[in-house]
Amino acid sequence: MSSIKDIAKLCGVSVATVSKALNDKEDIGEETKKRIKEVARQNGYFPQYYARAIRMNKSFNLGVLFVDEAMSGLTHDYFANILNSFKVMAESKGYDITFINSNRKNRKGKTFLEHCRYRGLDGVMIACISFENPEVIELLESDIPVVTIDYQFKNRICIMSDNITGMRKLMEYVISMGHKRIAYISGDKSAVTSQRLESFQEVLKENELEFPEEYQISSSYRNLEEAARYTRLLLELPEPPTCILYADDYSAVGGINQIRSMGLQIPKDISVAGFDDIFLAKQLCPRLTTVFQDSEVIGKRAAERLISLIEKKNISFKPVLVRTELKKGASVQKLL
């Protein structure tokens, strides 16, 4: 394999000029840059990054499998923060990030696992996806190092929010404010939804409160229209709830808009609360009561644990539970 000095000699230029050309610096003419790159290609020159990868049998590249059913992509506040934190930590350790295309057609028919092998990925973080998907299961059962977000799989590292404690704190607060008729518009079927719903029902049972079937509605996460429609249904019941909990803050906005369109006031006529503590929640008036999830820590821990697994350091498959915190706003009224 040729060195950068060999390329410089063949081109009749300095090593610095070759380096600038290969790194697309603007102070090198396009013709010179093109000639140097062509000579480098013909002589099998690999930049230091690739040389290190070949020497260590690693690509120093981590995959991110992120399939957002709501099609909100990187505008998805919670997961966008996780991904950014993951990226920052991975890059500080010398790794690059590659998104795994969720569209099989664009993957040329390859499964997720085949695509990961094709890309030579050292490891993968999986977030916001159906873990019942056969392709996802195939990847999870492979020999590729994997870390999952909010889903625990046998012999895989999982980073998750303490959803059970978060929901418990929220429910205990709402009940302490005098509410007995509490509805819950939960999210799509998932491990997170199950954890929160079980915690919700457990607190109700401990406080000997009823939970009518019509008070529990399964909706989609981050869906303004569904949240609005289900909010109207709840408020039109013969005995409507005094407080409505939403699966996420974004959905809560849909509910709040519906409540106001019906001429009702928050929290005077109906109390509401969300989950996530996204930026938007802090801008609402009244300030939304919600549960803070530390997405920055989740992303950071995911990168740290995945890289440790790849580098075979301190390997442990014990789930990493990240704290949640109740954020008391002004959207839950104190009942007499």
Per residue in 70-115, pLDDT (tens digit) is 555 566 778 888 999 999 999 998 899 988 876 666 656 688 888 8
Q: Which residues form the domain of 248?
A: 163-292
Q: What is the mean pLDDT of residues 150-160?
A: 88
Q: 30-42 and 4-11 helices cross at what angle (nearest 10)? A: 120
**Are 238 and 304 found together in one domain?**
no
Same domain, 135 and 178: no
* Total domains in the fold of the chain: 3
Taking every pair of Cα atoms in the chain, the longest distance, rounded to a whole number of angstroms, is 87
Integer Cα distance of 29 and 11 in angstroms: 14
CATH number at residue 318: 3.40.50.2300
Task: Check whether residue 149 and residue 189 sit in a common domain.
Answer: no
Give the list of residues 6+ apart from residue 281 with CB closer than 8 angstroms, or none. 249, 252, 274, 287, 288, 290, 327, 329
Query: CA-to-CA distance for 281 and 253, rounded, in angstroms?
Result: 8
Is residue 277, in this structure, part of any structural domain at all? yes
Listed as own residue / partner, the contacts of 136-141 with beta carbons closer than 8 Å and 24 or more positions apart are: 136/65, 136/112, 138/111, 138/112, 138/113, 139/65, 139/111, 139/112, 139/113
pLDDT classification of 314: cutoffs 50, 70, 90: low
Q: Is residue 144 part of a domain?
A: yes
**pTM of the complete model beyond 0.85:** no
Average pLDDT of the segment spanning 106-134: 82
pLDDT in tens, 19-60: 888 777 777 888 888 898 888 888 877 665 555 555 556 778
Looking at the fold, whether 80 and 192 belong to one and the same domain comes out as no
In the chain, % of residues over pLDDT 90: 56
Q: Domain check: are 117 and 198 in the same one?
A: no
More confident residue, 11 or 47: 11
pLDDT of residue 304: 94
Q: Encode 134-157: b = buried (16+ Cβ within 10 Å), e = exposed.
A: ebbeebbeeebbbbbbbbebeebb
On whether residue 332 sits in a domain, the answer given is no
Closest CA to 160 of 211, 113, 126, 187: 126
Do 263 and 173 belong to one domain?
Answer: yes
Sheet strand arrangement including 157-161: 96-99, 61-66, 123-127, 146-149, 157-161, 320-322
Please check whether residues 157 and 167 belong to one and the same domain.
no
**Are 280 and 134 in the same domain?**
no
| Residues 315 and 279 reside in one and the same domain | no
Task: Answer yes or no: do 38 and 102 share one domain.
Answer: no
For the chain, percent of residues with pLDDT exceeding 70:
90
CATH of the domain at 35: 1.10.260.40
* pLDDT interval class at 1 (50, 70, 90): low
Q: What is the pLDDT of residue 52?
A: 54
Beta strand 123-127 with 146-149 is parallel
Residues 204 and 233 in one domain: yes
pLDDT of res. 301: 96
The verdict on 24 and 47 lying in the same domain is: yes
pLDDT digits (tens, 9 = 90+) for 217-258: 999 888 899 999 999 999 999 999 999 999 999 999 999 999
Last residue of a domain, one of 33, 55, 77: 55
